[in-house]
Amino acid sequence: ADGISMSLGTSAGSDGNDGLSQAVNAAVQAGVVSIVAAGNSGDGTGTVGAPGAASGALTVGAASKISDGPYLAPFSSRGPTLSGLTKPDITAPGVAIVAADAGTTAGYVALSGTSMATPFTAGAVALMLQCSPHLDPDQIHEMLAGTALDMGLTGTDNNWGAGLLDGSAAIAGACAGDGGIELRTHENFTAKVIRNRTWTHEFIIGTDGVGEPIAATILIEGELVCVLFCLLQEWSPDLDARLLDPFGAIIATSECPLRGDCGAHGQQETLQATAQSAGTYKLEVYPYSTIGSDIVVDLLYGPLAGSPPPPPPPPPGNSPPNADAGADQTVVDTDQSPSEWVTLDGSGSSDPDGDALSYAWSENGTELATGETTSVHLSDGIHVITLVVTDTEGASDTDTVTVEVESAPPAVGTSHVGDLDGSTTSNRKGRWQASVNVTVHDDLDSGLTDATVSFSVSDGTTRSCTTDASGTCSVTSRRQSSNAPSIEFAVVSIDHATLTYSGSDNHDSDGDSDGTEITVYP
């Protein structure tokens, strides 16, 4: 045999060391091209089964037919293999493929799977070998990869492999001829979906694209995570996507499982629709919860062999302005009100014609302020603020800025006495006077400024003082007669703007009182 086509495999990922994979490798070493289905366990990583995980296998993933886009089939198994090899090697049509119905003499059936994509590739290989019988498996592999239509990340990747099979080009290369399939307009790019933001890409479909398919394959940078105690796995982060027609109506959405074409895990978002009118369409990608991610997009639309129509020219004599709402910012609600004043800066906005600009700031359709630079009062939380700049001719542009107002950590909660010391002075007549120094601490045992300490005194009076920067202040009694044996001071309260008094925490660092009461002797 010159080649083997195998539409079979295990549902679980493989490292290529199993007996079936090793048998495939032995056949390849003997010069037999082995074309193997990648499997239908996508779209999570490491899902290529045996024998598709064999290092020598020409492993085939599945995509839709060109008449439907094409887009990558969400069910198509993905690499790397459990031993780290990049798989699949190539992708071929494998969605709703019409084939002869086994067991009948004239029946046909439409089926989907990498098992349907594998014969497409095997047929191309057979025609290549018919022209060039000397080609070995490595040469076949290189020619298929070199003529494939690159999709996904540039070069070979674990989703598309080398890209979409171009059997015509590969056969032409083997037969010293010319050939190649025609694609519709193909946009391939990477982008970043920001946390809590919707990423938007606009594209224009002309009248020749009406009635033609629109297809988008969106691959999300992330990883598989455990759910339900690892009984299941899902892709994180989770993004969703939708297509909007020129009138703003949603014509396709990837939200799973009710409306989207979904894989088993969620690495891929898939959109497919038919253009019903010419105009500007929008592709939007947004977080399901809050977290964004990098994405790789393959977007195809318009007639086969088409090219993007040029954008409509701007109105003669006036170019629209460019809005710039400034960088995203995070501010702290320092006084726990809970809100904070935030400065919005649109000074980066410009107008190509030098026209004067007006500025309007709004949130969820409600106007907040006007002016190039302004301050607004925002509650704690995340706010997406829209800036609309308008020139003197009425042309406008918009930009958004995300402002997060964070709650400040709560202030230290209580105050107490940390030290209480007494002293006396006397005059020549024997009358004496007592003084008490008090040190107030917060509940981190740091000196507390601007705390007012109130005392009751055993001579029937009251005294108070306010602490300095070190947390200390003092009070003095009335003069006592020479025969007065002692006088007592007791802390009644400590008043502070933000802290409450906790008398149970009172103490005296040098042990000459209990921190609440002290007796002073002449």
Question: Positive or negative, the Cα torsion across 19, 24, 28, 31?
Answer: positive
Distance, CA of 98 to CA of 76 (rounded, Å): 18
Neighbour count for residue 223 (Cβ, 10 Å) = 12
pLDDT, tens digit, for every residue of 14-29? 999 999 999 999 999 9
Distance, CA of 417 to CA of 414 (rounded, Å): 11
**Residue 235's pLDDT is what?**
87
For residues 426-454, average pLDDT: 91
pLDDT, tens digit, for every residue of 30-43? 999 999 999 999 88
For residues 306-334, average pLDDT: 74
**Residue 428's pLDDT is what?**
79
Percent residues over pLDDT 90 in the chain? 74
Structure tokens at 215: 């297809």
* DSSP designation for 23: H
Asked whether the beta carbons of 373 and 357 are under 8 A apart, the reply is no
Amino acid (1-letter code) at residue 415: S
Distance, CA of 302 to CA of 36 (rounded, Å): 33
Confidence of residue 520 (pLDDT cuts 50, 70, 90): very high
**Residue 411's pLDDT is what?**
56
Asked whether the beta carbons of 218 and 297 are under 8 A apart, the reply is yes
The domains of the chain, with CATH numbers, are: 3-175 (3.40.50.200), 186-300 (2.60.120.380), 329-406 (2.60.40.10), 414-520 (2.60.40)
pLDDT, tens digit, for every residue of 236-262? 898 999 999 999 999 999 866 544 456
Question: Positive or negative, the Cα torsion across 353, 358, 362, 365?
Answer: negative
pLDDT, tens digit, for every residue of 370-393? 999 999 999 989 999 999 999 998
Asked whether the beta carbons of 298 and 72 are under 8 A apart, the reply is yes
Distance, CA of 41 to CA of 64 (rounded, Å): 16
Examine the pLDDT at 409 and tell me if it is beyond 70. Answer: no
**Residue 314's pLDDT is what?**
47
Lowest mean pLDDT segment, chosen from 32-41, 47-56, 225-234, 344-353: 225-234
For residues 339-365, average pLDDT: 93
Beta strand pairing status for 373-379 and 414-426? unpaired
Examine the pLDDT at 171 and tell me if it is beyond 90. Answer: yes
Percent residues over pLDDT 70 in the chain? 95
Residue 27, CB-side half-sphere exposure with 13 Å CA sphere: 21
Give burial (CB, 10 Å; 0-12/13-18/19+) of 384.
Answer: middle
Confidence of residue 312 (pLDDT cuts 50, 70, 90): very low
**Residue 228's pLDDT is what?**
73
Asked whether the beta carbons of 253 and 242 are under 8 A apart, the reply is yes
pTM given for the model: 0.59
Structure tokens at 452: 């007012």
